[in-house]
A and B are shown apart, each in its own frame.
Chain A
Amino acid sequence: MSSGETSASEADGNGGMMAQQKNLEGYVGFANLPNQVYRKSVKRGFEFTLMVVGESGLGKSTLINSLFLTDLYSPEYPGPSHRIKKTVQVEQSKVLVKEGGVHLLLTIVDTPGFGDAVDNSNCWQPVIDYIDSKFEDYLNAESRVNRRLMPDSRVQCCLYFIAPSGHGLKPLDIEFMKRLHEKVNIIPLIAKADTMTPEECQQFKKQIMKEIQEHKIKIYEFPETDDEEEMKMVRKIKDRLPLAVVGSNTIIEVNGKRVRGRQYPWGVAEVENGEHCDFTILRNMLIRTHMQDLKDVTNNVHYENYRSRKLAAVTYNGVDNNKNKGQLTKPDTADGMSPLAQMEEERRDHVAKMKKMEQEMEQVFEMKVKEKLQKLRDSEAELQRRHEQMKKNLEAQHKELEDKRRQHEEEKASWEAQQRILEQQKLDASRTLEKNKKKKIF
């Protein structure tokens, strides 16, 4: 009855989403829904892709290690900064972290060589290409017929490291952020913040925010919530943007407490001390509170932007459109074809590929059969040869033995003859002895 009423109200509303509020008379149990979602998500595990961009030597690897309290880049697998790069590369490393039964598959995308060369024009291009390719993979996976497994490797957050010059943004920073703010959530960070005194830091932050607004760069915006407390926290974070961070994984004793920090002759800069740097704010924001929001914004805003741009370019049936929008598309696919035709094409490709594979396999099979036959014949011949040889050997031995036997017989015969002679002699000798004895006796 109640369901009938609610549906009636939906029908006569102007397509309004708000149904009538109904009070329940007992405990139904759908308050357990969040638990079910929770349990399912925990079982499934979470994924998060984080990209770090900045010049070498700004402490990116150290910060990643500090954020996730693991040694992603350890002495055995040194981070990209220890390897000199000639061109900008994009590298990704995956790690599975577990905490309290929750799995997080963390992918860190690093960009060694960024901004290090003498001529850094277009050093952002590999980064843009990478992000677009991840979007494209996801788009293709989404458009497939069979889409049970959809791995999400889109870049959900980009931490951009600003060198602590104390003056303002460099032209490279501005160029990079201008090109990437529509593709990924950019969170600008001030690296190595222990270089600056608090006043310098404040001024630097103000200068950076001013320049960001001047150039109309859209960095990641914290969402507004209705909750008053959360709003307070969000506002506090907003005041301290861009976050000035210090990274370290070495533990030092300070006043009897063991803290992570950097030891200088004049003091210890603590990583987790809110007065020293904004590391705790970054960690809480990135991991504890806003991770899901980052993923949502990536999915709903950046990915949708990419998708609509890509598909609109396709339906306008022009290769030019694709090129103008600066998309990185593979030249063979989607040139002027609707998605259905594209699928047909794909299917045809697939069938052709299968046929080719089949032919190839048959060829390979034939070849293998021939080889095997050849081998068998060879081994037969070999065996035959050996057989012959063994027979010969055997005969030779046989003959040898025969010879020996004959020899032996001859020897035996001669020996017997000798024995007889000896016997005869002995007999003769004994006879003569007897004769002598007889003679002697007498």
Chain B
Amino acid sequence: MSESAKPQPQGKGEKTHGGDSSYVGIDAILEQMRRKAMKQGFELNIMVVGQSGLGKSTLVNTLFKSKVSRKSVQPDPEERIPKTIEIKSISHDIEEKGVRMKLTVIDTPGFGDQINNENCWQPIMKFINDQYEVYLQEEININRKKRIPDSRVHCCIYFIPPTGHCLRPLDVEFMRRLSKVVNIVPVIAKADTLTLEERDYFKQTIREELRANGIDVYPQKEFDEDAEDRMINDKIREMIPFAVVGSDQEYQVNGKRILGRKTKWGTIEVENIAHCEFAYLRDLLIRTHMQNIKDITGSIHYETYRVRRLNESNIHFSAHLSDGPAVQPKANGQPEEQPPIAPQANGVAAQHEALSHEM
């Protein structure tokens, strides 16, 4: 191992000690990790949620600078609004500078488009929990694969329509329920509708409403690890929700070819931070916080789900053991409903008590 360490490029881990005699080479682990990651590739699962016509597919195309959205893959150009919410998941393998990424975009056409949108978040929650379930099953397996394919939703981008006034009840309901199971990144869609003052006012209103309703969007305050993280994340928190504009068409502006939207009164440049905040969103999702998003999904949201599930199956198990009670916990191991059991240690004991009383 040490022979390969010596001819390594003196990366950032290098400390000029008295000489090579005191250089151990621990920092070479970074290079090893890098090579391994490049060989393995990354996975990222992004879900886009919002009413139809808010530019979700366009934004996803713009984020990854290629046609990865559902619309680009579907051969039929018919734009009909489905009667019920469908969940469509499309995977692509993209590569940049030797780094491979398996990107899965999960689209939710039909969300919020009906006249009666009661419980339109349920299919989505069911889907997310199903992904956790699949991963859990694989993990519990006796003979499990070396690398469990990760289909859990890492990040959910929620599109807020640019009304300029406040969040709608539907938005509040959805975000409240889903911020507990997945990282939500709210964005203001079609931000070229709003002037700069309207945009600031709208963002302020949204932030206040999120705070008032106790909705914790990514980056969550409670998961900041240290002061540096907190500083960076605070800056980001000042800016959410990002006001984005998406486009997959290129125009010539000042001799450069850039992505934008051309209207009769001007051209909106997607990557110009004076025009919209797309660049910040892209940096957050891809360049700086991608790994953090995946970590939070894996270590917090997934763990919460796991604890809940295992508690449930515990109760289920113990309920079977005691003399045939008529009461089965109503969730019964189904992951789609929110079971009334809190994932705490004493929750299990309380349930035991309840069951024995009911006997």
Contact = CB atoms under 8 A, between A and B. Distances in A.
Nearest to B163: A57
Contacts of B261: 197
Contact of A163 (B114, B161, B275): B161
A263 B267 contact: no
Interface in A155-210: 163-168, 170-172, 175, 192, 194-198, 207
Nearest to A248: B195
Interface string B29-73: 000000000000000000000011111000000000000000000
A117 B169 contact: yes
B110 to A, nearest CB: 10
A119 B79 contact: no
Contacts of B137: none
A264 B169 contact: no
A56 B268 contact: no
B118 to A, nearest CB: 5
Contacts of B269: 266
A57 to B, nearest CB: 2
B54 A165 contact: yes
Contacts of B79: 167-168, 207
Interface in B112-131: 113-118
A100 interface: no
A58 B55 CA distance: 17
Nearest to B192: A195
A123 B53 CA distance: 22
Given A84-B166, A167-B79, A263 B195 contact: yes
A267 B81 CA distance: 33
A56 B163 contact: yes
B60 to A, nearest CB: 16
Given A58-B163, A264-B195, A163 B53 contact: yes
Contact of B263 (A163, A170, A194): A194
B30 to A, nearest CB: 41
B262 interface: yes
Nearest to B274: A265
Given A165-B54, A168-B81, A276 B115 contact: no
A125 to B, nearest CB: 12
B317 interface: no
B192 A194 contact: yes
B150 interface: no
B113 A170 contact: yes
A267 B117 contact: no
A242 to B, nearest CB: 15
Contacts of A268: 265-266
Contacts of A52: none
Given A195-B190, A268-B265, A116 B114 contact: no
Contacts of B165: 56-57, 81-82
A165 B51 contact: yes
Interface string A40-57: 000000000000000111
A267 B196 CA distance: 12
A108 B190 CA distance: 29
A275 B264 contact: yes
A111 to B, nearest CB: 15
Contacts of B275: 264-266
Main secondary structure of the interface of A (DSSP, over half): loop
Contact of A118 (B117, B163, B193): B117
A192 B192 CA distance: 10
Nearest to A207: B79
Nearest to B198: A262
Interface residues on B, range: 35 or more
A171 B115 contact: yes
Given A165-B52, A171-B81, A192 B193 contact: yes
Nearest to B170: A118
B125 to A, nearest CB: 15
Contact of A175 (B115, B168, B267): B115
Given A263-B195, A265-B275, A118 B169 contact: yes
B249 to A, nearest CB: 9
B27 interface: no
B173 interface: yes
A334 interface: no
Interface string B277-297: 000000000000000000000
B38 to A, nearest CB: 40
B164 interface: yes
A121 B163 contact: no
B50 to A, nearest CB: 10
B163 to A, nearest CB: 2
B115 A121 contact: yes
B117 A120 contact: yes
Interface in B148-191: 161-166, 168-170, 173, 190
Contacts of A170: 52, 81, 113
A57 B161 contact: yes
A272 to B, nearest CB: 13
B259 to A, nearest CB: 13
Nearest to A55: B163
Contacts of A175: 115
Given A82-B165, A168-B81, A120 B264 contact: no
Given A81-B165, A168-B81, A266-B275, A119 B263 contact: no
Residue of A116, A123, A266, A276 contacting most chain B CB atoms (<10 Å): A266
A127 interface: no
25 contacts: A57-B163, A58-B163, A82-B165, A117-B169, A118-B118, A118-B170, A119-B118, A120-B117, A164-B53, A165-B52, A166-B53, A170-B113, A171-B115, A172-B115, A192-B162, A192-B193, A194-B193, A195-B162, A195-B192, A197-B263, A264-B275, A266-B266, A268-B265, A270-B265, A276-B264
Which 8 pairs across A and B sit closest by C-beta, in order of nearness?
A165-B53, A57-B163, A267-B266, A266-B266, A267-B265, A119-B116, A167-B53, A167-B79
Given A168-B79, A195-B190, 15 more contacts: A56-B168, A57-B164, A163-B53, A172-B115, A192-B193, A194-B192, A194-B193, A194-B265, A195-B192, A195-B193, A264-B265, A264-B266, A268-B265, A268-B266, A275-B264
Interface of A: 55-58, 81-82, 84, 116-121, 123, 163-168, 170-172, 175, 192, 194-198, 207, 262-270, 273, 275-276
